[in-house]
Structures are given as structure tokens and as C-alpha cells.
Amino acid sequence: MTSPVAIVTGGSRGIGAAIAERLAKDGFDIAITYVRNAEAARRVTSAIETTGRRALAIQSDGGNVADNTALVQKVVSAFGRLDALVCNAGAYPYGGPDTMTVDDISRTLDLNMRGVMIESVSAARAMKEGGRIILIGSAFGERVPLPGISIYSATKAGLVGFAKGLSRDLGPKGITVNVIQPGPIDTELNPADGPAGDALRSVLAIPKYGEVKDIADFVSFLASDQSSYITGAALSVDGGLTA
């Protein structure tokens, strides 16, 4: 019997890398995507292979239709199946109406929404009963405590509506669709000691940043059989930002 297979988009660093490595420990063979940093992707696949699991890194731009469309087929061709899709790749534009450009808006919509939709629909066609589609949203899709993130927040809120609808479509097939909504997580791109740190901690019930492990552990649960009765849900892992 072959091992289950998971795709983690944006899996070469930060939250995505932690998710990929955790799912490998859970017994999944893993395909990750990256855009530019092939060396970072290689480090993640090497770490996965040390667990005895198979790993594949695919250069894929989540904002590109051709790349989105080809992704699932590449993974199924390599591994023979697909059991879980984790859509983690995303853009985080910052700026208000005075600075936001049409290109900024288009790029964010393409990567955070359209790409996720294409990948999810493609994955659903390849999955059998027990399949898991997990979208990494944001607590900012539910609450917007700071200026400058309107476009980002809109796309993350849109993921919730998409997941709720897709869960209805796929429930009869035994495939679940859920959104995880992280709060501030300490990563290279959003360090706990960065310029936004104090402002973000001020709106949390637990006044500290989370760790990538917090998100990876929750993905692990949603990818498991233990979560089989959870679908269409937006689940916050946010230190109380949305409380």
C-alpha cells in the first residue's frame, strides 16, 4: 500500500516548511512548491527524506494560471495519488488607497484567491474519499485591527466563503474543506521583534506571537482521520486576535 500524499504550496520556508515537515512525520509523502529559492526548497525536501518519506519540490508560481493548472497533475504523475492539499502560498501587500496599485490588487487576487481555487478544484478531482483540502487563511480575514491590509483581508475572507461552498460540493464524496486562520506567527517575513510586533501583540488575548509549530500541528489534525466530521469551518489559531 502506498503512503498518502500531500501538497503544501509555499512550502520552502516559514509556516509552509513546518507544515510539510510535520505531515512527513505523520506518514505523508510530500510535494512542496516554491517560486525562486530552490536551495531553501532543497533543504526542506532533504529534511523530509530523512524521515523516510518521499519528497518533491516543484517550481510553481501560485499566481500563474498555467502553474496552478499543472500542479496537481505533476504530483499525481510522480506519486500516483493525492490525499491532502494545503494551500499556504500567499501575498501580503501592505498599503492604503494612496499607495495600492491595480497591479498590487491583481497580484494579490491571483495568488491568494484564484490560485487557491484552481488548485483546490484540481485536487478535488484527483482525491478519493477521505481527501483533505486545507486553506491557510488569516485572522485578518475576520478582524482588521490595523490600517493598510484591506486587500489582503478581503482575499482571506474570500477563502472562507469558498471553503464553505466547496465543502457542500465535496461532502457527499467524503472530502473535507477547511480554513485555518493564523494570527501573528513568528517567521522570517513577520518576526516577533519586527516593527509591527508591539501593535499586533496589543490586540491579542495571549500577548505573544505564535510559532510555526502551532499551525503545523493544527494542519496535522485536519489532515488526519480524527477530523473527518469537520468541514466548511474557519478555525482560528490566533492568540485571541478575533476574540
DSSP assignment string, 36-64: S-HHHHHHHHHHHHTTT--EEEEE--TT-
> How far separated are the first and last CA of the chain, in Å rounded?
44
Judge whether 152 counts as a catalytic residue. yes
Q: Which residues pair with 58 in a beta bridge?
A: 33
Please give the Cα distance from 134 to 200 (Å, whole number): 25
- From residue 4, alpha-carbon distances to 23, 29, 42 in Å are 10, 6, 21
Q: If we measure between CA atoms, which residue out of 97, 82, 187, 95 comes closest to residue 136?
A: 187
Give the whole-angstrom CA distance, residue 223 versus residue 95: 35
Cβ atoms of residues 34 and 41 within 8 Å: yes
Please, how many CA atoms are within 13 Å of residue 114, restricted to the half-sphere of its CB? 16
Dihedral over Cα of 210, 132, 70, 30: its sign? positive
The active-site residue, picked from 34, 152, 209, 229, is 152
Tell how far CA 239 is from the center of its chain: 18
**Which residue numbers are catalytic?**
152
